[in-house]
Structure 1
Amino acid sequence: MSFAAWLPGDGWEPVTGGESATEVFRRGDVFAKCSGVSGVGELAAERDRAEWLAGTSVPAARVLDWIERAEGGALLTSAVSGVAAVELPWSEKLVASFAGALRAVHSLAVEDCPFRRPLHDVIAQAEDVVRRGAVNPDFLREDVQAVPPAELLARIQAEAPEVAAKAAGDLVVCHGDGCLPNFLFDPETLELTGVIDVGRLGVADRYTDLALVPAQLNDVWSVDAAGFFAQYGLPEPDRARLDFYLLLDPLTWG
């Protein structure tokens, strides 16, 4: 089955190879993310979140169309100008801009956001991935890649009550996958031009996003995260929560 055949008009070009029956196409300034039946729910969730975010002060892709058929669905969104942070050369200004962009998302009014991502739901998602044996070891930190996923999950479950207690008074609107590829910037001014791939956006512990940053900065640019946290306004982050979410996140993809 060719997802491109569902899309209006001609000239759609594939952008990436799909994961879990998902394919992405582009035609001019329009992107189309297509999914089979099993992924329609997640795609619809991304549609709803993208529509909400586009109405806030944070620049983001706009939803242009939604196609749903018996075989699956397609989400059409506007292209966002700029270049993904991961594709830009490191500079202190870029790191500061990335910190400011993540802070801007986290500063959106929690009471205005209709989406929630409570910790117990995220852990339930991880439990499902582990149960299905779908954890990708390449997503894990090197020091735990040889540890059985069930053992990592048990560690998460044991630490969850303490983390949840800390997070109770520190809930913000999170991107949910606050990675460098999902934040685009003007390559000249390094101002934020847009946020993409918001299928996991929702009110959650800010460390859901923050925990992903140190490893990314090190992997992409070989730099320490101290400058990022200083610019974000959290010069002394909670290391225990950083470690917790860095361990939890890769267990939720699969």
Structure 2
Amino acid sequence: MSATGQVDQGGPLYRFDERRRMIPLDPERLAARVVDAHPVDFASFRQTGIELMLLGRYDEALDHLDRALELVDTEQRRITVWINLGDVYRYRGDAVTAERLYRRAVEHARASASEVLSFAVQHLGKALAERNQLREAHTLLVEAMELRAAEGDSEEIESTRAALDTLGELPIPLPPTVASLLGEAPTWSDDHEGMSGGVVLVDGAYWLKRGPKAVAEHERLNWLRDRGIRLPEVVAFEDDVLVLADAGAPSLAARDSSEEPAAIGTVMGSILRRLHGIPIDECPFDGRLDVVLGQARRQVIEGLVYTDDFDDDNKGSSPADLLARLLAERPDHEDLVVAHGDFTPANVLDGEILLDVAALGVADRYRDVAIAVRDLREDFGEAAVAAFFAAYGAIEPDPRRLAYYRLLDELF
């Protein structure tokens, strides 16, 4: 197997499509290989992970590659798994996470593993080309070509040449419904309040999201509709692209901290009470600790936790330290409700419109309460927190659960 995962034994298992992505030549043969696989070491976990990716079984692929990452014994191997993980996220549509992994691979390869630098550079170049960042993509692919020419590997040189030849064709087109809505020359902006990866403002009128989180959000918006919660209007959805109408209102986070903090807390508590009042047996989405701690573990293994954003009392701790604490201090029961999953003032607009519901699911009520209290206290003070609890009702605040779910949020 090459640094990017090509299987050499028994003939090729994949070819490249017009976007320079691997697709299986014989899916049935590949599926049979996966069934027969019993990974026990780094190489076998990595190979099976790559083959699962080719079959489109992305969650299983991530599980196997995470295990490979735990078993790495050299920096070169670590970098190649980061590249493989980037491929899985890119293939499933999470371009932001893929780019982050590829950039890390390039940085580490430049510093300590030049033998895999051409692979890291080429994968980052192709990923950027798909997102229409053509100038940087071209620079990276030219670098990959120069590196491979020096190495003298004709097969790899041809792979890079093909990527360069198709550079102008790589940007992923919008689905027809969305393209028709936006017209031929929409204006794009990622400079906006609440800016987060993968969300852009189009023509000042629409919010566009793409990838698995957009799919998850669309599913939850459809489910939440007509359940007493105000939501943004879905203008279009096709494939993995979601377009929402701009509501023309700022979020509660944009309010001046001296401007009626109690009113902000009251709005937050009132909305959350309505959301948490929806019967859990109607909700098909699972956000319980078994699920979320598994997601947190993946974040830690793959190095996707933003430690710079840790609260002051967790500065100096590693993501692995926090995960160990979460496992050791896990509550013995969950007070289940339909939870938002990221309930902050930034995700509530004036007019009591609830945003960013991609993480919504059945979970402990404190998953929302802890984050709301943290942000209200930090941004608006104790008056806002008191007003929040007065409007929310239902509970006497539990300091241990507030601390636990605040800690959990550090890993996301």
Question: 1:75-129: per-residue Cα shift (whole Å, max 9, x none)?
Answer: 1122234321111234122211111011111112222222121111100111111
Equivalent position SS for 2:382 = coil
The question of whether the paired residues in 1 share the 8 Å contact of 2:263 and 2:387 is answered with no
1:131, distance to aligned residue in structure 2 (A): 1.0
Aligned residues: 231
* Alignment pair present for 1:143 and 2:318: no
Determine the C-alpha separation between the residues in 2 that align with 1:33 and 1:16: 15
Letter in 1 for 2:219: D
The question of whether the paired residues in 2 share the 8 Å contact of 1:226 and 1:235 is answered with no
Change (3 A) 1:223 1:5: farther
CA RMSD of aligned residues (A): 2.3
Q: For 1:1-254, what aligned pairs fall within 5 Å after superposition?
A: 1-2=131-132, 6=174, 7-8=178-179, 9=183, 10-16=185-191, 22-34=198-210, 40-68=211-239, 73-89=240-256, 90-91=259-260, 92-160=262-330, 163-165=331-333, 167=334, 170-186=335-351, 192=352, 194-223=353-382, 225-234=385-394, 236-251=396-411, 253=412
What is the aligned-residue identity percentage? 31
Higher helix proportion: 2
Determine the C-alpha separation between the residues in 1 that align with 2:233 and 2:318: 41
Change (3 A) 1:218 1:138: farther
Question: 1:9-64: per-residue Cα shift (whole Å, max 9, x none)?
Answer: 133331448756x2413335432113xxxxx2222111101111223210102323
The question of whether the paired residues in 2 share the 8 Å contact of 1:99 and 1:229 is answered with yes
TM-score, length-scaled by structure 1: 0.82
The question of whether the paired residues in 1 share the 8 Å contact of 2:269 and 2:389 is answered with yes
Equivalent position SS for 1:208 = helix
Determine the C-alpha separation between the residues in 2 that align with 1:217 and 1:155: 25
Query: Which structure exhibits the higher relative contact order, with contacts defined as CA atoms closer than 8 Å and separated by 6 or more residues?
Result: 1
Equivalent position SS for 1:212 = helix
Change (3 A) 1:45 1:164: farther
Which range moved further: 176-185 or 49-58?
49-58
Question: 1:138-178: per-residue Cα shift (whole Å, max 9, x none)?
Answer: 33221111012211111100111xx241x1xx211111100
Q: Rg bigger for which structure?
A: 2
Determine the C-alpha separation between the residues in 2 that align with 1:16 and 1:203: 33
1:223, distance to aligned residue in structure 2 (A): 3.2
Equivalent position SS for 1:83 = coil
Write out the 4+ residue segments of structure 1 that deviate beyond 6 Å after TM superposition: none
Determine the C-alpha separation between the residues in 2 that align with 1:16 and 1:174: 29
Higher strand proportion: 1
Determine the C-alpha separation between the residues in 1 that align with 2:272 and 2:364: 13
> What residue is the counterpart of 1:189 in the other structure?
none
Unmatched 5+ stretches in structure 1: 35-39, 187-191
1:215, distance to aligned residue in structure 2 (A): 2.0
The question of whether the paired residues in 2 share the 8 Å contact of 1:4 and 1:25 is answered with no
Equivalent position SS for 1:11 = coil
Determine the C-alpha separation between the residues in 2 that align with 1:242 and 1:212: 8
TM-score, length-scaled by structure 2: 0.52
Unmatched 5+ stretches in structure 2: 1-130, 133-170
Determine the C-alpha separation between the residues in 1 that align with 2:204 and 2:191: 16
Equivalent position SS for 1:135 = coil
Change (3 A) 1:80 1:109: farther
